[in-house]
Amino acid sequence: MIDNCRTHPHDVEWLIPSFEPRLENGDVHVWKADLNCTPEALARLESTLNEEERIRADRLVFERDRNQFVAARGILRTTLGRYLHCSPGGVLFAYEPDGKPRLCESTVPVRFNISHSQGLALLAFARDHEIGIDIEAMRIDIDAEEIATRFFSLTEQTELRALRPEHRTEGFFLCWTRKEAYVKARGGGLGIPLDSFSVSLTPGTPATLRSLDGERWTLRSFRPSPGYAAAVVAEGRSRTFSYWSYSSVPRR
């Protein structure tokens, strides 16, 4: 599915591919995955992890957090393995100074990013172009205006306050996911002040990015599931976006 938003400005249709995905120049592939796996599926995914990832998982106090970390990492490895035509356990990672993972010693120039919230994960892939993605469950038990005052630009704060009260929670999370996706695509981490650029946040209007390097990026905002907000930022213009649903059932 490519940029299909017929039912809601931020809705997309998620398909399960019946073929090996091919990532061409200009493509952006977004995958959605449920991290609440069956014990059998979780065991398969855990078997793909390396020792460092298992140690990271074991350090997590709560079983739910541990299981979701294992699922997210295993799904990332499994999906990358399909693009790279190798086993999930054969995927080797390196890390940027800010912690952003990348492929190590790969002959296939695949860039990727992952985000998860409340049991739902999104993975984004592009060929030889930077990519960033973010997903958030839209919680109402936060002080959106206080957080906006601390982290949003003055333009964003003004736009948020102009929304009707019943739209401000959605507007806040539209803004937050768009900003996080942009920062993750750039790879700057905490070195990029969140108030140094602006995104649009009014529900039902096109997603826009206003930054000094805005022409370098393509921003898409969508609703991966009811109650969630998400955004993806890809380097370059005229990108073709496709949306896939990950299945934990092993293919035959």
Q: pLDDT digit string (tens) for 178-195? A: 999 999 999 876 689 999
- Confidence tier at 250 by pLDDT (50, 70, 90): low
Query: What's the burial of 143, exposed, middle or buried (CB within 10 Å: 0-12/13-18/19+)?
Result: exposed
| Full residue range of the structural domain in which residue 203 is found | 136-229
If one counts the domains in the chain, the total is: 2
82, 75 Cβ separation under 8 angstroms: no
Closest CA to 171 of 159, 188, 154, 153: 159
User: What is the pLDDT at residue 89?
Assistant: 94
Of 8-12, 14-18, 93-97, 202-206, give the range with the top mean pLDDT: 202-206
d(CA 38, CA 40): 5
Give residue 208's pLDDT band: very low, low, confident or very high (50, 70, 90): very high
pLDDT for residue 14 is more than 50: yes
> Does residue 17 sit within a domain?
no
Q: For residues 32 and 93, what is the distance between their CA atoms, to the nearest angstrom?
A: 21
Across residues 119-148, what is the average pLDDT? 95
In this structure, are 205 and 161 located in the same domain? yes
pLDDT of residue 5: 34
- Mean pLDDT, all residues of the chain: 90
Q: Has residue 11 got a pLDDT over 80?
A: no
Closest C-alpha among 2, 106, 91 to residue 48: 91
Closest to 231 in 3D by CA, of 193, 183, 196, 190: 183
Output the domain CATH number for residue 177.
Answer: 3.90.470.20
The verdict on 120 and 151 lying in the same domain is: no
Decide if 16 is inside a domain. Answer: no
83 and 174 in a single domain? The answer is no
* Predicted local distance difference test score (pLDDT) of residue 251: 52
Residue 87 sits in the same domain as residue 158: no
